[in-house]
Amino acid sequence: MTLMEDAKKGIITPTIETVAKAEGIDSKTVRSCVAKGLITIPKNNRRQAIPIGIGKSMSIKINVNVGTSRDCIDIDDEIEKAKTAEAFGAHSIMDLSTGGDLDEIRNLILKTVKIPVGTVPIYQAAASRKIVVEMTSDDMFNAVRKHAQQGVDFVTVHAGVNLNSLERLRQSDRIMNVVSRGGSFTLAWMLHNEEDNPFYTEYDYLLEIAKEYDMTLSLGDGMRPGCIADASDRPKFMEFITLGELVKRARAFNVQTFVEGPGHVPMNEIELSVKGMKELSNNAPLYLLGPIVTDIAPGFDHITGAIGGAIAGMYGMDFLCMVTPSEHLALPTLEDIKEGLLVTKVAAHTIDLIREGQSERAWEKDTAMAYARRDLDWEKQFELAIDGSRARKIRYSRKTESDTCSMCGDLCALKIVKEVLGEKEKEE
């Protein structure tokens, strides 16, 4: 029995209890939302991952991508990235490895971290053949089953990439065509084999595998725009429509889902994308990388992604995929992972400040910081900071004998007003 089946029967499971407690939400509310597909809790029944709630009234969650490429195969480095991401507050890890022993890498990550782990099985299906287009439908589904058996909590499948979306792509004037790796594998296979996407045509079989292991399906955005000039076009919205239909079928099958969203979107079109996806998917949890709001900031795309993510959060986004400074340039380093994650945590908290169900708890932290700053309580400020060690390092990098910071020293506005008010109170 899946978590969604239990929830539909009115059963509040220990997993639901754990999420409700962590989020400060009534467990009956969480159960009801899981039953409706408004909250997803990715947790394979073969693995004891820490359950996290993604969706309505939940705090914003952050995913970190790790994994080898065929050009850079260093398993130890990727494991260290996964460990660091978990230590710095990531809520999930995705293994996107395409080089080396994929089974070994995945198993090590699953054993190393306690948070949910996601994968993209078509990467392994493609790796089983000399060239991508030679993989078979069986290769695709066998990869999904293998990942499920190993305990993967959620898998990205580009089931919305089908002949309809391909036709829209052909009719479009896109600059960058398809930038999703899984989406490109799927389209190449379809064109070479002159067949529709097996994950779409045999979607019920995919649901059967997911249901057996209570594995969540992350319905991938294979037609996402790769530059802001391609945002909000027909291929993207055609895929949105298909993903909404697939969400509905998964819910009827008692399989949990969330939906992945577009990559590059100018700020004034983010509301349209988010609300459109939410409406078409019947408010399924929405998972976004970014959106990245400008194309001319290589080296700073952790910032462009955080800007887009914060805006998307205003309109209902639920799950952020961290972007690193290496995006579009290279495989990220360990330091890139840290930097990207911390910047994304800033974006996530700004969303929680205005998020239904979470704003009160988020405001408590900011209010506590305000009091700590008023009182020049540096240790409390470091304790409350998203990265206290970094704040401490900056604070003491410019030495001052004053209890204020070195920007103002004894001319600190807070200190001056506090002293003046104190003297005034004594006179009275």
Model confidence pLDDT, tens digit, residues 202-225: 999 999 999 999 999 999 999 999
Q: pLDDT for 58-72, tens place per residue?
A: 999 999 999 999 999
Residues 325, 242 share a domain: yes
In a domain, 47, yes or no: yes
Residue 22 domain flag? no
Select from 150, 53, 17, 64 the least CA-distant residue to 341: 64
- Residue 288, phi then psi, degrees to nearest 5: -125, 140
**Please, where are the H alpha helices in 285-358?**
301-314, 334-352
Q: Are residues 292 and 406 in the same domain?
A: no
Residue 425 banded pLDDT, cuts 50, 70, 90:
low
- Which CATH number belongs to the domain containing residue 257 in this structure? 3.20.20.540
Look at residue 289 and tell me if it is in a domain.
Answer: yes
φ, ψ for residue 188, nearest 5 deg? -60, -40
pLDDT at residue 403 greater than cutoff 90: no
Q: What DSSP assignment string belongs to 99-151?
A: SS-HHHHHHHHHHH-SS-EEE-HHHHHHHTSSSGGG--HHHHHHHHHHHHHHT
Residue 427: its pLDDT value, please?
A: 64
Are residues 329 and 423 located together in one domain of the fold? no
Among 326, 357, 388, give the residue marking a domain's end: 357
One domain for residues 287 and 406 = no
Helices (H), 218-284: 234-252, 267-280
Say if residue 263 is in the same domain as residue 343.
yes
DSSP code of 292? Answer: B
- Tell me the CA distances in angstroms from 371 to 100, 389, 421, one per residue in order: 51, 20, 17
Domain tally, the chain? 2
Q: Residue 418: what pLDDT?
A: 83
Closest CA to 58 of 93, 19, 16: 19
Residue span of the structural domain in which 174 resides:
40-357
* Confidence band of 21 (pLDDT split at 50, 70, 90): very high
Q: Note whether 309 and 290 are within 8 A (CB).
A: yes
pTM: 0.96
Residues 293 and 422 in one domain: no
Q: Are residues 278 and 418 in the same domain?
A: no
Identify whether residues 152 and 293 lie together within a single domain. yes
In a domain, 1, yes or no: no
